[in-house]
């Protein structure tokens, strides 16, 4: 390692500071010379205009200095870029899935979370996928940002160097729910992470032996991102609240005409797979289809859960 960086934020910050220092130097220099010229060549001091001829030495100096500066900026930027794209061999891999409008994380032990849990001090590689449109994973605290592209895997890596909870944003406009596509990174002590990881491993081991348990609806609406747009307590969001939704009579726009529909099992099942066919009045037509994203069993579990939200 020629640079001595151990984490990405140090490398990004050093490049940022370097460019900032050059910018401040140029701003002060240019402003100073300009003020000097205003005074030195004022009309009061020079009542008669003079013709000033070129100066070869000066031309060379003001060509070579900026050339050296931009090459230096390129060099530190390039070193930092290579560091950013070179994942350490011992990095732990976490799979990130972006969807409208939530983030999901999958670990080597099979555990799934909607908050990114990481151990302190160990490098982590995030492999990023999108199930629908372009999103972009942004963790400002660790100076990392990478697009989530449908049909392609992208990646980033970093080394969490402080225990704490930090923001994760989506930073690529992806529709009405874009601003609610937020979650957290939770950095914990390595020992705490390891015991959590082993618990997940054990759970996955027993789940593999037994027939897989029915997915719980309350978990699904969280994991699949439904709660980005729908509340469960009656508070307003982009989509209708889940509270009291099941069995309710709704004004529905179907093929441009307003009709009425009862939000029963068949209606919700259909609404999840082909949301564009019937829109609930008063809400924008932005519900993404869950075709291929939810199994029939999962839809059933979600409907059972909705029934409990009286």
Asked whether the beta carbons of 172 and 135 are under 8 A apart, the reply is yes
Q: Which H or E element spans position 113?
A: strand 112-113
Q: Between residues 101 and 305, which has the closer beta carbon with respect to ligand CUA?
A: 101
Site for ligand CUA in 74-103 (CB under 6 A): 101
What span, in angstroms and rounded, lies between the C-alpha atoms of 5 and 97?
29
Sequence-ordered list of residues with C-beta below 8 angstroms from that of 184, at least 6 positions apart, any chain: 115, 116, 165, 166, 167, 168
Contact call for residues 179 and 203 (beta carbons, < 8 A) = no
Please identify, using beta-carbon distances, which residue of 15 and 185 lies nearer to ligand CUA. 185
Among 124, 139, 170, 227, binds ligand CUA (CB under 6 A): 170
How would you write 140-188 as a 3-class SS string? HHHCEEEEECECCCEEEEECCCCCEEEEEEECCCCCCCHHHCCEEEEEE
Span interacting with ligand CUA, options 35-43, 152-160, 169-177, 253-261, rule CB under 6 A: 169-177
User: Backbone phi, then psi, for 201, in 5-degree steps?
Assistant: -65, -45
| Rounded Cα distance, 269 and 300, in Å | 8
What sign has the CA pseudo-torsion 220, 224, 227, 229?
negative
Examine residue 12 and tell whether it contacts ligand CUA (CB under 6 A). Answer: no
Pick the closer one to ligand CUA by CB: 146 or 172.
172
Size of the site for ligand CUA (CB under 6 A): 8
Find the part of the chain contacting ligand CUA (CB under 6 A) among 173-181, 189-197, 210-218, 291-299. Answer: 173-181
Query: Which candidate, 169, 180, 114, 177, places its Cα nearest to that of 146?
Result: 169
Terminal Cα-to-Cα distance of the chain (whole angstroms): 60
Least distance (Å) from ligand CUA to the CB of residue 15? 26
Closer residue to ligand CUA in complex, CB, 14/127: 127
Which residues, 106 to 165, sit near ligand CUA by CB under 6 A? 135
Q: Please, what is the minimum distance in Å from the beta carbon of residue 139 to ligand CUA? A: 14
Cβ nearer to ligand CUA, comparing 11 with 97: 97
75: phi then psi, degrees, rounded to nearest 5 = -65, -50
Stretch that binds ligand CUA, among 34-42, 170-178, 258-266, 300-308 (CB under 6 A): 170-178
| Binding-site member from 117, 159, 178, 271 for ligand CUA (CB under 6 A) | 178
- What token pair was written down for 243? 């509270």
Site for ligand CUA in 196-225 (CB under 6 A): none
Assign 193 to helix, strand or coil: helix
- Does 229 bind ligand CUA (CB under 6 A)? Our answer is no
Can you point out the beta strands (E) in 162-282?
Answer: 164-170, 183-188, 249-254, 257-262, 278-280
Question: What distance lies between CA 73 and its chain's CA centroid?
Answer: 27
Site for ligand CUA in 49-78 (CB under 6 A): none
Regarding 238 and contact with ligand CUA (CB under 6 A), the answer is no
Q: C-beta of 147: minimal distance to ligand CUA in Å? A: 10
Are 126 and 118 spatial neighbours (Cβ–Cβ below 8 Å)? no
Distance of closest approach, residue 146 Cβ to ligand CUA, in angstroms: 13
User: Which is nearer to ligand CUA, 184 or 270 (by Cβ)?
Assistant: 184
**Binding test (CB under 6 A) with ligand CUA, winner from 96, 128, 139, 181:** 181
Residues at the site binding ligand CUA, with contacts judged by CB under 6 A: 101, 135, 170, 172-174, 178, 181
């Amino acid at each position: 390692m020629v640079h001595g960086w151990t984490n990405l934020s140090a490398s990004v910050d050093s490049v940022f500071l370097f460019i900032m220092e050059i910018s401040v130097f140029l701003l002060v220099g240019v402003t100073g010379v300009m003020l000097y010229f205003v005074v030195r060549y004022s009309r009061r001091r020079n009542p008669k205009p003079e013709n000033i001829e070129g100066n070869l030495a000066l031309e060379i100096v003001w060509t070579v200095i900026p050339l050296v500066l931009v090459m230096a900026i390129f060099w530190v930027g390039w070193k930092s870029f290579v560091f950013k794209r070179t994942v350490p061999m011992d990095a732990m891999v976490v799979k990130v899935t972006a969807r409208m409008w939530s983030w999901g994380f999958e670990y080597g032990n099979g555990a799934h979370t909607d908050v990114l849990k990481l151990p302190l001090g160990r490098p982590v590689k995030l492999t990023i996928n999108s199930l629908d449109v372009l999103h972009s994973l942004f963790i400002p605290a660790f100076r990392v940002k990478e697009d989530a592209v449908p049909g392609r895997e992208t990646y980033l890596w970093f080394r969490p160097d402080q225990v704490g909870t930090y923001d994760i944003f989506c930073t690529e406009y992806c529709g009405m729910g874009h601003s609610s596509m937020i979650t957290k990174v939770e950095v914990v002590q390595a020992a705490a992470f390891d015991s959590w990881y082993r618990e997940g491993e054990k759970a996955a081991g027993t789940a593999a032996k037994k027939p897989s348990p029915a997915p719980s609806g309350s978990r699904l609406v969280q994991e699949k991102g439904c709660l980005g747009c729908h509340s469960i307590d009656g508070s307003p969001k982009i989509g209708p609240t889940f509270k009291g939704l099941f069995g309710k009579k709704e004004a529905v726009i179907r093929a441009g005409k307003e009709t009425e529909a009862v939000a029963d099992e068949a209606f919700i099942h259909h609404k999840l797979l082909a949301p564009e066919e019937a829109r609930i009045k008063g809400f924008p037509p932005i519900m993404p289809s869950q075709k291929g994203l939810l199994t029939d069993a999962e839809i059933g579990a979600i409907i059972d859960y909705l029934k409990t939200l009286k």
